[in-house]
Structure 1
Amino acid sequence: MNDQAFTFQTLHPDTIMDALFEQGIRVDSGLTPLNSYENRVYQFQDEDRQRFVVKFYRPQRWSVEQIQEEHQFSLDLLADEVPVAAPLKFNHQTLLTHQGFYFAVFPSLGGRQFEADNIDQMEWVARYLGRIHQTGNKNRFIARPTIGIQEYLLEPRQLFETATLIPAGLKAAFLAATDGLINAVISRWDENVKMLRLHGDCHAGNILWRDGPLFVDLDDARMGPAIQDLWMLLNGDKAEQRMQLETIIEAYEEFTPFDSDEIALIEPLRAMRFVYYLAWLIRRWDDPAFPRNFPWLTGEDYWRNQISTFVEQVKVLQEPPLQLTPMY
């Protein structure tokens, strides 16, 4: 796959329309782009006035086997009556191809934004996360990766060494802050934690609300600890997060037991997300969509703020982890 395909410069509207036509879908509306930087995702309506979403996967990111595992997990969840956006089958296949691009078609399932500060909604989401992990425990990913130090910290650190986006005058300070954060995470990371199939990126933006939660975008599904799908729901100060976490775990355990030792992984996972996110931005910088949507990456102030964020996170990692209220 050439570089132009990697950055989607060869993915034209006619290419998309032809790909859908090959599957028997006649687009009767324009292609409305949806918010996605990693892939290219469009909503459309067919001649029967049914709405769909088509997702073109970024070349060179996932292998065929990895995408198929994502699709199978979605279908497993759907079979277990978990409300999730799962790909449709065409001639018994969910993963389709056209001119070197892999793509999938989904039903368009609208909804409003999940309210992260709504305790009732949070309880409902937590119950379904318990069910997602119940399904996730039934099998394992073989091709998709596992959350860990190598992918989330060490590989990004190597990338930072040669990254031209990081201002030369700040490179040494940034690398030192990165090393300090990596060491702090390693000291807190538990290599023996139980791993299961996860949504992987379960923040509020990937949850819609339509008479209950609807989980979308399993593109980052992978093996990892259960707490990975819970901690991104937390917000506010420590007291608020403690109350939210207690609510989440109580609802979650209606379907799946939770190992409270995993709470100590919240801040390490947050730190890993900081580092991994920066590496992702650097890796995608050749895609014209990234300089257009993240112009501040070329400014020194942004990287100074990242250094401060890393230094502050080290201090957080040195503090005792979040503690639940003791039960008597």
Structure 2
Amino acid sequence: PFAALTPERVLEAAEAVGFEPDGRLLALNSYENRVYRLGSAEGMRVLKFYRPGRWSDAQIEEEHRFALELAAAELPVAAPLELKGRTLFRHADFRFAAFVCLGGREPELDLPGAREILGRTLARVHQIGARARFAHRPRIDVERYGHRSRTVVRASPLLPEALAEPYARLSALVLERIERVYGEVGPVEGIRVHGDC
């Protein structure tokens, strides 16, 4: 779906939201979307182009509002830039957002106190996330991520015939146990979480 997203299109998109690109453009790792680091007169920026058909505008904007809420609470997150009063843009049939380029690194979990700091940070994300609910994002539950996924895998020609029956038995057993645990725990209240946590 990204064949038409050429470097020229990325630079045009940057210009369309008011950046002055200086020609530096680097593709960054991303599993689902296309993400680029952009050199510009305004400083280093990141442009994230969303995979067509994966999320609705409402879902993306909801995630953006949550990231802005986390940033307002002084959590170290990469929140989208509000440009021209919005965070989600379109260019050449692609939706994208712009961010300030932030450096990051893997936490050194063996250092004294590192896990506690990481835990406190995630706890703050969860506290803020519990203040409201997502209205447009899919709920994570056994039906959607368990049974539906199992049905897709079982119907897929990629599942070798020799593994079809063992997969059917094992996946049914796993889902049965997950449902039992959900039943023991009782109703689970979902909270907003950031997809990159």
TM-score w.r.t. structure 2 length?
0.92
CA 1:46–1:96: 2 relative to 1, 3 Å: same
Instruction: Find the counterpart in structure 1 of residue 128 from structure 2.
Output: 135
Give me the whole-angstrom Cα distance separating, in 2, the residues matched to 1:184 and 1:119: 37
Give me the whole-angstrom Cα distance separating, in 2, the residues matched to 1:180 and 1:172: 12
Instruction: Find the counterpart in structure 2 of residue 14 from structure 1.
Output: 8
CA 1:28–1:22: 2 relative to 1, 3 Å: same
How far the C-alpha of 1:19 sits from its partner, in A, is 1.0
Instruction: Find the counterpart in structure 1 of residue 193 from structure 2.
Output: 198
Instruction: Find the counterpart in structure 2 of residue 103 from structure 1.
Output: 96
Give me the whole-angstrom Cα distance separating, in 2, the residues matched to 1:22 and 1:116: 42
Of 50, 69, 73, 2:66 maps to: 73
How far the C-alpha of 1:179 sits from its partner, in A, is 1.4
Give me the whole-angstrom Cα distance separating, in 2, the residues matched to 1:186 and 1:118: 38
CA 1:183–1:201: 2 relative to 1, 3 Å: farther
Give me the whole-angstrom Cα distance separating, in 2, the residues matched to 1:201 and 1:20: 24
Please tell me the residue identity of whatever aligns with 1:166.
L
8 Å CA contact 2:67–2:194 kept in 1: the answer is no
- Aligned-pair RMSD on alpha carbons? 1.6
How far the C-alpha of 1:161 sits from its partner, in A, is 2.0
Superposition misfits of 4+ residues, deviation over 4 angstroms: none
CA 1:117–1:148: 2 relative to 1, 3 Å: farther
Please tell me the residue identity of whatever aligns with 2:90.
T
Of 51, 56, 64, 1:58 maps to: 51
Instruction: Find the counterpart in structure 1 of residue 18 from structure 2.
Output: 24
Please tell me the residue identity of whatever aligns with 1:199.
H
8 Å CA contact 1:71–1:87 kept in 2: the answer is yes
TM-score w.r.t. structure 1 length?
0.57
Q: Which has the higher contact order (CA 8 A, sep 6+)?
A: 1
Task: Map 1:297-312 onto structure 2 (within 5 A).
Answer: none
8 Å CA contact 2:154–2:168 kept in 1: the answer is yes
Instruction: Answer with 104-113 or 64-73: which moved more.
Output: 104-113
8 Å CA contact 1:160–1:175 kept in 2: the answer is no
8 Å CA contact 1:40–1:57 kept in 2: the answer is yes
